[in-house]
Structure 1
Amino acid sequence: MEENRNIVIGGESVSPGQEKLLKIRIDRLPTGTLIDIPVYVFNAKKPGPIVLIQAGLHGDEINGIEIVRRMLEEKQFKTNSGAVIAVPILNIFGFIHFSRDVPDGKDVNRSFPGIKSGSMASRIAYHYVSEIMHQIDVAIDLHTGGGQRHNYPQIRFTQEDERSITLAKAFNAPITFSAKLIRGSFRNAAYKMNKPTIVYEAGESMRFDDFAIMEGIQGILNILHHLGMISKIEPKYIERTDTIELHERKWLRAPTAGMFVPKVVNGGEIEKGQEIGLVSDTYAKKTKRIKSPFNGYVICTNHQAVVNQGDALFHIGR
């Protein structure tokens, strides 16, 4: 029987049948402390796809980090074929500073494919592309909403890549939709390298959401099963019918500054003309009501109680 491929990261090889914790050296703190990216490799003996499962590209998005941690703890990356490369925290600098970005303020997810002698974010991207991305076949990128913005569990795929559409359906998150490629993003770099990639968005930064975490674990196991890398899924964390695919999305913004009171549950179904929230001044003299422009679903809610005019309050889709 044909044997699986060797995986080489940081000059160290992981042969078929082996599993190792490797590290990619990135930089040092001003104190001289070395910072490296931990990379877990699980390489089965039988041939199959190499799947990258990564989290912490933005250092404050901890739900994805917890998804990978739990799956490592429960030994769910040991497959019958192929290989899993699991990266719990890509942006170590952001994680230790409770920040989305690296210390110089740059976003690693706008720095791909990176430059060897560039900024810190650019160097992280460069080493990641050089060491990992050229070896993989499929990627799952785990994210959350930004500060105070809670994303209902959703998968984003690349419309121009049929394989990413198939992966999105296999993941079977509550919500699925296509999203435009963003210059400098990991997904854009992967698309240019012909590596089908999906992005899982769930929860908000610096706050655990157990439902989002369980949805993520279930979706990853669904993908591994779809690719023939595991024979069955036990236990099942989430069971449902097919995902809801959205074809139109819209952000609803604060019409004025004031206290924001949502009137619907995130992930809930809404009707055209329905009042889904309001913004009022602190004296209850002036109130602006926010109504849905169409029938659809709420896929993100702002949890900030005090808002300014123009702040994003709801992301809705149909």
Structure 2
Amino acid sequence: MSEKDIFEILGVKVALGKSATVSFNVAKLHTQNTIDVPVIIERSKKPGPTILITAGIHGDEVNGVEIVRQIIAKGINKPKKGTIICVPVINVFGFIQMDREFPDGRDLNRVFPGTKGGSLASRVAFKLVTEILPYADLVMDFHTGGADRFNAAQIRIVKGEKNLKKLAQIFGAPFVLYSKHLNKSFRGTCYKLGIPVLLFEGGKSFNIDNTITNTGVNGAKRVLNHLGMLNSKFKVSQPKKSGVFISESKWIRAKYSGMFNPSIRINSFVTKDDVLGHITDPYGNFNHFVKAPNDGYIFNINESPIIYQGDAIFHISTVLKK
């Protein structure tokens, strides 16, 4: 076996045809207990691409974690060829506390590529970028909507990336949203390193939704199947509808504070002036109709029962593009 058939990740050598669970040592708690993030590596005997599957960059986004958990539990991560690396919970500190951020108050997805001697979040980002990411030919990163905002299942890519557009179509989520790379984000750092990323968003924080989870797992299977990496024992179903590509969108914000009751379902196509929901007061004196400002798809709904003036309550497409 040549040196090319063996790679060393986090100090552990893993040969073709071998499996390993490697500890991504993050830090110690103030009690001196170590915090380790398991990195699950599965390698086929047959060479091929390396796919990195991640979730939990934000600790409260459990739906993404559940998708990766299922990929591992079902054995989808055992490739027919090549290598699959799974990191189900990157921000394990936040996951333990059900908090979006790190104990140092930083958003991990805003400190990439990180620094070796920086803040705790920055050190984790640096270790991920320098010790795991270099092996990846493609990243599938699973996220969940923040706060009470429920995201329709969607893939986010940048315009002009033809290969990613094709992979997004193969993934088969209901929506593909063209979005720019955020400054110091994981996706932006991967882009600068020339590593393509399919970023999946779906559901809301502190919640596991079976429809979203199934979409994520099935999408990952389709991509792996396209790459010739999916074990033949798994069946691949095609999505019922082609994904809608959203080129531009905007948030509809609450004009008033009050009790909020959306009346439209996620994924729905609406026309201008359709009633999307109601804002009321607790005393029965006020009832405001929230109406669609334009034709478009509703792909995010705020599910909080109490909202304040200016809160984002619906995300609606404004320009569609194939």
**Interval containing the TM-score (normalised by the shorter chain):** over 0.9
Tell me the distance in 2 between the aligned counterparts of 1:67 and 1:178.
22
Could you give the per-residue CA deviations for residues 245-289 of structure 1, whole angstroms, max 9, x where no partner exists?
A: 112211001101011110101111211110111212222323322
CA RMSD of aligned residues (A): 1.8
Could you give the per-residue CA deviations for residues 228-257 of structure 1, whole angstroms, max 9, x where no partner exists?
A: 212657344674232111122110011010
Q: Secondary structure at the match of 1:47?
A: coil
Q: Secondary structure at the match of 1:183?
A: coil
Equivalent residue, structure 2, for 1:302: 302
Query: Retained in 2: the 8 A contact 1:268–1:297?
Result: yes
- 2:135 counterpart of 1:135: yes
Which range is displaced more, 278-287 or 133-142? Answer: 278-287
Trace 1:220-235 onto structure 2 (pairs within 5 A): 220-230=220-230, 232=232, 234-235=234-235
Equivalent residue, structure 1, for 2:116: 116
TM-score, L = length of structure 1: 0.96
Equivalent residue, structure 1, for 2:150: 150
Equivalent residue, structure 2, for 1:106: 106
Unpaired runs of at least 5, structure 2 = none
C-alpha distance 272-9 of structure 1, shift in aligned 2 (>3 A): same
C-alpha distance 304-297 of structure 1, shift in aligned 2 (>3 A): same
Trace 1:214-225 onto structure 2 (pairs within 5 A): 214-225=214-225
Equivalent residue, structure 2, for 1:51: 51
2:156 partner letter: R
Detail structure 1 runs of 4+ shifted over 3 Å in the superposition: 1-5, 235-239
Query: Retained in 2: the 8 A contact 1:116–1:127?
Result: yes
Equivalent residue, structure 1, for 2:268: 268
- 2:185 counterpart of 1:189: no
1:199 partner letter: L
Tell me the distance in 2 between the aligned counterparts of 1:3 and 1:179.
39
Equivalent residue, structure 1, for 2:161: 161
Q: Secondary structure at the match of 1:260?
A: strand
Which range is displaced more, 2-11 or 172-181? Answer: 2-11
Tell me the distance in 2 between the aligned counterparts of 1:142 and 1:237.
20
C-alpha distance 153-3 of structure 1, shift in aligned 2 (>3 A): farther
Work out the number of aligned pairs and report it: 318
TM-score, L = length of structure 2: 0.94
- 2:20 counterpart of 1:20: yes
Unpaired runs of at least 5, structure 1 = none
Trace 1:163-182 onto structure 2 (pairs within 5 A): 163-182=163-182
Could you give the per-residue CA deviations for residues 80-138 of structure 1, whole angstroms, max 9, x where no partner exists?
A: 11110011100010000100111111011111000001001100000001111111100
Q: Secondary structure at the match of 1:81?
A: coil
Tell me the distance in 1 between the aligned counterparts of 2:290 and 2:24.
48
- 2:65 counterpart of 1:65: yes
- 1:27 shift after superposition: 0.6
Could you give the per-residue CA deviations for residues 289-312 of structure 1, whole angstroms, max 9, x where no partner exists?
A: 211122221111111011100001
